[in-house]
Amino acid sequence: MINQENEKLIRGLYDAVNRKDLKTIADFGAPESEWLDVPFDFTTQGVNAIIDPWKSWFNIFPDATCEVRSLVAIDDYVIAQGIGRGTHRGVFNSPAGELQPSGNTMQVNFCDVYRIKNGKIIRADSYFDFYGLLKQLAPNKVV
């Protein structure tokens, strides 16, 4: 039963992402929440740990969507794999430097690993292909 509940929660998160429903996304946060953007080695903590990375992403890619290709729930953990898409409309402060809006569309593979407790995301590790993303947004920066 817990697997089905946690799977439903994370499917609800991605539905909220695709609708840009910031309130619903924010409701997944708790005081002990953590979100790690693995390619950047950057962790956000606290009640806003879930919403802040999404707000940043929407500022860069206002039309961002996530297509979940597979989702597996095991006890307190949910693993979601899919494709993110969007158009580069905002400044992207990235490990490769500041990327000015290019107007380029992008498609990036991701794998997010969530730990759920009492209906909240306690930990999220977000893996995505930053190198592939960089090649699409700023090909002159890629070696």
Choose among 109, 96, 108, 113: nearest CA to 36.
113
pTM listed for this prediction = 0.93
- The 10s digit of each residue's pLDDT in 62-80 is 999 999 999 999 999 999 9
For position 141, what pLDDT does the model report? 78
CA angle 122, 78, 109 (to 5 degrees): 105
**Domain made up of 2-135: CATH architecture:** Roll (3.10)
Instruction: Indicate the domain borders of the chain.
Output: 2-135
